[in-house]
Copies of this chain bind each other. A is one copy, B any other.
Amino acid sequence: MSFGIDDIRRARETIASKIVETPLLESPFLNRMLNCRLFVKAENLQVTGAFKFRGALNKISSLPEEQRKNGILAFSSGNHGHAVAAAASLMGCPAVIVLPNTTAAIKVENCRWWGAETIFYDATKVDRETFAKEIAESRGLTVVPPFDDELVMAGQGTVGLEIHEQLDVLNVSPDLLVSNCSGGGLSSGVTEAFKHFYPSAEVVLVEPAGGEKMSRSLESGKPERNFNLGPTILDGINGPLAGTKTLEVLLRHGVGCTSINEDEALAGMFAAFKFLKLVIEPGGAASLAAILAKKIDVTGKTVVILASGGNVDPAVFTRALQLAEQ
């Protein structure tokens, strides 16, 4: 595979005018508390509240006019579905989002708000990929994959290009990138960009404890499944499968792995509330959580972490705020 910095640069040209160049934030309190210099890339401030918009927009923008006119399809009840609905709307392209019939009303509304058609399936009876592919084929729709696609990965990789430019202004060179990881779209894209500019820097991925599919994939050398799919507030990073293309990139760069549990994620969200004034969802707070929980040694280092999304229910955010009372 030839995925590299040029794909990411092309993606940047394609999407730059339609995305938010999110700030790279720092907290003097966190720096002193953690004994490091910590930069937080605030992708929760991206359109649709998550980095996913970048990849979806790059993919849809890169489709031939004809395919765009026929329409696109995505299967995801989370940030990817919302991002695809938004990107399709901006590109004037019909969109179908395939959702489990148990999807929360707010997530259905988000897709419909952007004008997308929503189609439901019974997750206990049908396989979502098979179901979605049948609809796509019968209606001539192009599937926008959530992560295992070079155009999607390149879109997410633009986060890394921005980080490089933002650090350059400060004349800072990082030692470590910590990235939240599920299928690997964000982490592969950003790692590719990061390692291009900082070849000797370290990269560590953060997964949900009990659902470390990418960690196991990196060991076995092939994409592994996550069998721990029960309901969790870490749903944003608890997808069923590691990607093939994303794994290839991550293997090539020799990344490390760690994991966090729900309580650690809530502590990360609380720290983001208190010190960064950001609303981050549990999966989006995984990198910060891992550092706060001392899963990664950051002493004396210059560290970049990704705050990948901010779509969190008030009830879950309230749980994070209750940590203040402890």
Interface residues of A (CB under 8 A from B): 20-23, 25, 28-29, 42, 44-45, 47, 49, 86, 113, 270, 273, 276-280, 310-311, 313-315, 317-318, 321-322, 324-325
B28 engages A86 (CB within 8 Å): yes
Q: 17 other contacts beyond A20-B25, A23-B45, with CB at 8 A cut-off?
A: A20-B23, A29-B113, A44-B277, A45-B276, A270-B314, A273-B314, A273-B317, A277-B279, A277-B280, A277-B311, A278-B279, A313-B324, A314-B321, A314-B322, A315-B321, A318-B321, A318-B322
Contact of A273 among B22, B25, B279, B315 (CB under 8 A): B279
Q: How far is the CB of A32 from chain B (nearest CB, A)?
A: 8
Q: Which B residues lie within 8 Å of A279 (CB)?
A: 273, 277-279
**Min CB gap A23→B, angstroms:** 5
Partner of A314, one of B276, B277, B315, B324: B324
- Smallest CB-CB A-B distances: 10 pairs: A277-B310, A314-B324, A314-B321, A277-B279, A44-B277, A23-B23, A318-B321, A49-B277, A273-B279, A318-B318
Residue in B closest to A22 when the chains form the complex, CB atoms: B23
What chain B residues lie within 8 Å of A325 (beta carbons)? 314
Q: For A277, what are the chain B residues with a Cβ–Cβ distance below 8 Å? A: 44-45, 49, 278-280, 310-311
In the complex this chain forms, how many copies of it are found?
Answer: 2
Q: How far is the CB of A304 from chain B (nearest CB, A)?
A: 16
Instruction: Name the B residues within 8 Å of A22 (CB-CB).
Output: 23
Contact of A25 among B45, B113, B321, B322 (CB under 8 A): B45
Question: Complex: how many Å from CA A297 to CA B59?
Answer: 39
A311 to B311, CA, bound (A): 21
Subset of 29 A-B contacts with CB under 8 Å: A20-B25, A21-B23, A22-B23, A23-B45, A25-B45, A28-B86, A29-B113, A42-B45, A44-B277, A45-B276, A45-B277, A45-B278, A49-B277, A273-B279, A273-B314, A277-B279, A277-B310, A278-B278, A279-B279, A313-B324, A314-B321, A314-B325, A315-B321, A315-B324, A317-B321, A318-B318, A318-B321, A318-B322, A321-B321
